[in-house]
Structure 1
Amino acid sequence: MLLIILLAFSVTTYSQKKKVEKKKVPVPKWKIHGRFTFLFNQSAFSNWAAGGQNTVAGNFNVNYDFNYKKNNWNWDSRLITGYGLSYFTDKGYRKTNDRFEFNSLVGLKSSNYWFFSFFTNLRTQYTRGFDYSKTPERSVSDFLSPAYLSFGPGMLWKKSDDLNINVAPATTRLTFVNDMFSGKFGVEEGENTALSLGFNLAAYYKTGLMTNVEMENILTIYSDYLDNPQNIDVEYQANIRFKVNKSLKMHITFHTIFDDNASGKVQYRELFGLGVNYSFHEKVTY
């Protein structure tokens, strides 16, 4: 009887410890996600004792992500664009947002989370910008002026689509301006382009803070070997999204830039609003 009990116990223990083969989850070949967000703000006053100014503001943003994986190849592309206007009763229209940015990063896997990489980045704006603190107002930028085109080889550490860091120690950057802004943004007087070679670091991290709340962090650091390498350009953007339902989201953006060639001061932009969120293209293929 004791032998039978021991045998039964051994069989039971073995069956519990036996490894269960995990089913392999197929890796998507293409992941595409296009999102459109429109934020609207409005304030109106009439005989208001404390005073106030009527304003209407609208802001749209489009994010388009393309992620490709096959064997040891990884290709991530992202389009970030947006435009915003505010209307003040006595001042007319003022621009509040103007951005066009395209990123492309190709990687060939070397080991674990490491890839040999090559990145391309293009940044510019759509319309002319003004400094309204001056009287009369002064034009400070225009379409494709400035425009920054950066590219170069490097090494990519990618844990997932939501966490990656790319280091490119031999990055070429071209700065373009029109004749009006020749002599600014690091371009010499009488020229329309400037060439620089430097170190570029780009990091991306998206995480969930709590239920229906996510935070997206985008960081870029650049140092020009050929012109004051100690003056490091830093750009950081944080996007916090609060999901109300499928179509409505509350959106907060903190965006800061330090670029000695563009401005001697820290540039800062903040955006807050409740808006409509729409996924116009969402696709996964295997």
Structure 2
Amino acid sequence: MKRVLLLSLFTLVISKSFGQSFGEIQKIESVGEPLFSRGPLPLINTSFDVIGSYVFTYNQMVPRRGKTSFWEQVNEFTLDVSEVAFVNWNAGGTNSISGMYGMNVVRTYRNKGFRWDNQFRFRYGINQQEGQELRKTEDDLELISSFGYEISKNSSWFYSGTFSYKTQASRGFNYPDTETAISEFMAPGYIFLGVGAKYAQPNESFELYLSPITQKSTFVLNQRLANDGAFGVRSAVRDNDGNIIREGKTSRNEFGILVTNQFQQKIFESTVIVSRLSLYSDYINNFGNIDVDWELNFNFKINDFMRANIGAHIRYDDDIKIREVAPDGTTIDGGSRIQLKQQLGIGIALQL
């Protein structure tokens, strides 16, 4: 938990100092509607008993006197807290409190046909119920950087190279078991590195990246998980008594094709749909077997202070096997499965 708090504080300080190195940050009351700054970020809750949630957004760079800045920025920070308490409530219930912290930091450089996009996303949620230990409800850490040069003057297509990094900040458990972690920082961790072409509409409501040359590296820096072959790495070799003869590998490299898409569209006056899709297939192992990572959200504007959100997150990776408990109590490989997370929330948003 300390690692998460320190990481949040560190990234906040870095994002502020990075922005100020190019000029003073100024709050803007009304700007256009680029992809990452259409109003405050909608907040995700599994409870409608919302105490408060706050969004701090800065989205324009003010150049230094006498100089022109080619950098654009978006800083979005969200904090949501919900609580339910019961005293002599004859219908029953459990006291609980939950929180969700989100960060979305974007830096974009444009000059003479060059374009450099950088994005850092971090989300972390916790829940505490009476009689239970503190539990994690959300944990995503992602860094994306792409550099491109336009194919022709004023073209929406760019020759592009992209680097992305994904992991989580703290250990995850298969609750109620809190003794044996099933994931942690860099277990797994993913790095994508590739070159291709990127299409970006002028208003940035639609982006498409095609990379036929992409290396995917999977890291499992927990030897126990690596020995079990978690997340697709090579498992340990054991003798008949279960003793380890050769340790499992802590990394795996793949070479394939990557397609990503980011889309945002207002479908009604107060409703915006946001989609983030990533598709990857390895050339060498089971080509055509596609890893899918798709987030789809419907964001509703209730008024200037309230937002609602309905969303889903779907993942499928053939290398990730679901562990099941057999009738005799042993753990067996249940094969690959579609992973689904559904979200429904309503909250109060304050934009500064």
Partner residue, 1:13: none
Question: Once the 2 structures are TM-superposed, how far is the Cα of residue 198 of structure 1 from its aligned partner?
Answer: 0.9
Indicate whether 1:65 and 2:65 are aligned: no
DSSP 3-state at the match of 2:224: helix
- Aligned pairs for 1:1-286 within 5 A: 29-111=70-152, 112-132=155-175, 138-160=180-202, 161-178=204-221, 179-182=223-226, 183-189=229-235, 190-243=248-301, 248-263=306-321, 264-271=336-343, 272-278=345-351
One-letter amino acid matched to 1:129: G
Question: Once the 2 structures are TM-superposed, how far is the Cα of residue 47 of structure 1 from its aligned partner?
Answer: 3.8
Q: Structure 1 length normalisation: TM-score?
A: 0.80
Q: Are the aligned partners of 2:162 and 2:195 in contact in 1 as well (CA < 8 Å)? A: yes
Q: Are the aligned partners of 1:35 and 1:278 in contact in 2 as well (CA < 8 Å)? A: no
Q: Are the aligned partners of 1:57 and 1:85 in contact in 2 as well (CA < 8 Å)? A: yes
Kindly indicate which of the two structures has a greater share of residues assigned to strand.
1
**Which stretch of structure 1 is more off in the superposition, 141-150 or 212-221?**
212-221
Q: CA RMSD in A?
A: 2.3
**Which stretch of structure 1 is more off in the superposition, 85-94 or 247-256?**
247-256
DSSP 3-state at the match of 1:185: helix
How many residues are treated as equivalent by the alignment? 252
Question: Once the 2 structures are TM-superposed, how far is the Cα of residue 244 of structure 1 from its aligned partner?
Answer: 5.2
Question: Once the 2 structures are TM-superposed, how far is the Cα of residue 210 of structure 1 from its aligned partner?
Answer: 2.9
The separation in 1 between residues aligned to 2:313 and 2:190, in whole angstroms, is 18
Q: Are the aligned partners of 2:306 and 2:346 in contact in 1 as well (CA < 8 Å)? A: no
Question: Once the 2 structures are TM-superposed, how far is the Cα of residue 137 of structure 1 from its aligned partner?
Answer: 5.9
Give unpaired runs (5+ residues) of structure 1.
1-27, 280-286
What is the aligned-residue identity percentage?
A: 29
Deviations 1:47-75 (A, max 9, x none): 43443222211001101111221121112
Question: Once the 2 structures are TM-superposed, how far is the Cα of residue 139 of structure 1 from its aligned partner?
Answer: 1.9
Question: Once the 2 structures are TM-superposed, how far is the Cα of residue 246 of structure 1 from its aligned partner?
Answer: 5.7
Deviations 1:222-280 (A, max 9, x none): 1112222232111111233334566654344422211122242222223324144556x
DSSP 3-state at the match of 1:180: helix
**Which stretch of structure 1 is more off in the superposition, 268-277 or 94-103?**
268-277
Q: Structure 2 length normalisation: TM-score?
A: 0.66
Change (3 A) 1:276 1:81: same
Partner residue, 2:29: none
